[in-house]
Structure 1
Amino acid sequence: MIRLLVVDDSALMRKVLGAIFAAEGDFELAFARDGLEALDFLPRFGPDVVTLDVTMPGLDGLACLDRIMLERPCPVVMLSSLTGEGAEASLDALARGAVDVIEKPAGAVSLALDRFAPALVRTVRAAARARPRIALGLAARLRARHAGLAPPPGSRPAPRAVDPGPVDDVPPIPAVAAEPAGGLVLVGASTGGPPALTALLGELPAGFPWPIVIAQHMPATFTGPLARRLNGLSALSVQEVTAPVPLIPGRVYVGRGDADVIVVRRPGGLMAAPAPAQAEYPWHPSVDRLVESALDLMPPRRLVGVLMTGMGRDGARTMAALRARGGRTIAEAEATAVVWGMPGELVRAGGASVVAPLEAIAAELTALVA
């Protein structure tokens, strides 16, 4: 049984969430009406995972999350509104240690249950097995680093990555077109991704020589604020892809949520472009579709794939194929991944050139493109 604490000030939402998880048959449930009541439940109920409303009277979701991470760290899934303010609060929650964020249904809750319930259950199950990453103070450390200040006391060199060996039995990818100048980095992430992306981009130098395209599974409401936040925490320029945009060395392109981001060729050269979601790709923005589009246009040796924390297997097949054809790939190590689903599938497929803990990925990537 999975012990789940549901925290929401709305009696209707508590009833709806309770019915969703009770129908699964393997959840033991407790309910709290606000942040203070949730804190009281922590030692008595001992939840495996918590769903936490972002907006509550009194002790709100962010303040309650801080207390949970300090007093009894456990996986937390935030429930957020679709508003811009809700998106910013959700990204704050992820930076403070929440495992994931789920959009609350807007309007009539009953009409959204068919879409909302499966995603919620899937996310909570994954979160129950996740390692919450406590990242308080990360933004301040990155700002200090880019201001030229000394690294924090006690910092250590990043552990060396490991090469897991050769790749076997990888499905083919179509042939590529003529080689353009330079190269391209393709990054995929899902659950736990925003803090991992912050850590990765925050360590890359301003003169990083290749463009970077990111497919982070996330709703469209959140990807714009995520790109703006990453832009403020990185020495690189970061933007959301809402229209075709040229791929420029040293710039970072975040795919818009609820759609896909692909690489296309235009008369002026290669571009990152949004593309409507397709049914054969279950997660969006799709890592598999991004990698396939790049392999259609660029030689594998000019591509580096980076697959980070996330549930599922999106990106594992195509990045394994990328390595098999002479490209290079980095998988986040199990020790640092919030959920070792996507990178774990890449490693098990023999498709990772390098397996590295989060704190070592930027250095490994910089060495590969040098």
Structure 2
Amino acid sequence: MSSSAKPQFSRMSLNLLMLVSIVLIVILYEPAAKQAEQPLPAAPTLNASIWLSDSGSKIWFHPALADTIEIQFWYKAGFRYDGQHKGQAHLLAQLLKYESVQRKLPMEISLDQDFIKVVLHLSSSPISLKKQIEQTVALLYHPKLNNSLLNKLRQPSSSLSQDLRQQAYGQHAYAGPQRGTQESLSQISRADLQKFHHEYIHPKRLFASIVGDVNERSAGIIMETLLPNSRRHPASDPPLIPQTVSYASRDNMAILVKPGLNNLGKQSQQVRLVKDYLLMQVLQDLLPSQIKWVTGQSNNTIYLQQLAQFRQNMRDNADWDMILRAKRRLASHWLQQAEGAKALSRYLVHLNAYDLPVNHMQLNLNHLQSITMDSWQQFYQTQLTELTF
């Protein structure tokens, strides 16, 4: 009975086999290592035109192929300007939103600490466009401010996030409360809202953008028609001193106050902000949907839920490989801000409102690329201390 012969390997053959295995491992793993270290993509070149309207508004324009003409109006009328009438900016924004629905305008209205934001999706059809512009001008500069609805809106609301915000900001204008208090709302009359509207929904207090399938001359005509001169005097801005970095926490929730976009005078401050952005991306990866970032002129505000889980995950899970992946996701998010007319109109008004350069995205990408493992670990340890109070 014959038996199969066992293969015989010499020492030289075994050494050669080991060498080939090592080479294969290097070849197979080298592309992955190189991929992790690839440079971030470049930002698109924006050929934006910038001008002041006859009524004093600063406008950014960029042409784009789109079915609609996308326009953004950011009025310096956020709740930081409420003064003693806490809640009046919120009431005005809600009344304008209600009237825009009644007029069936393609419009969205929102409010934050700095701005009342109006988004327009106008038709490219000349007849429809003319009608929409007329309706928009009537709403923005001659609103009805429905008194019966105003009475219904005088309802304050409280929440843990608002309580923590007031604790973190103290006497700063960003403290709010955005929706006012029972006492402040009861004292706000329709006449008070009219006065606030005349002084703050004013062309000289406006940052705007327009993006669409129109040339610069047509864009200028549209914006001049939307922004007539006002005989009224705009409100003046009181000085706003940034709040120092602070935090407040309760019941597994926290608010962290960071430097805002108007505090970027030095490159080191710009790099610090990019690291903050990267930190937010990392935190989102650790616990999706449990974090909210609100951009501000004076300060940025971070809302954290499930704080105990965040603390544990930050200690255990944020290794350098995760940071590299987060860098690419953050870069991708930034690039998407310039894709399509709607996103681009919002990005341009963002640059406009925060007085950022047209190449701001590329500068951020450069700063993001420059973050090394050592510089990130030093920054991360500091943040870990702040977020594990």
Which TM-score applies when normalising by structure 2?
0.24
Which TM-score applies when normalising by structure 1?
0.25
Structure number with larger C-alpha Rg:
2
Structure (1/2) with the larger helix percentage: 2
Structure (1/2) with the larger strand percentage: 1
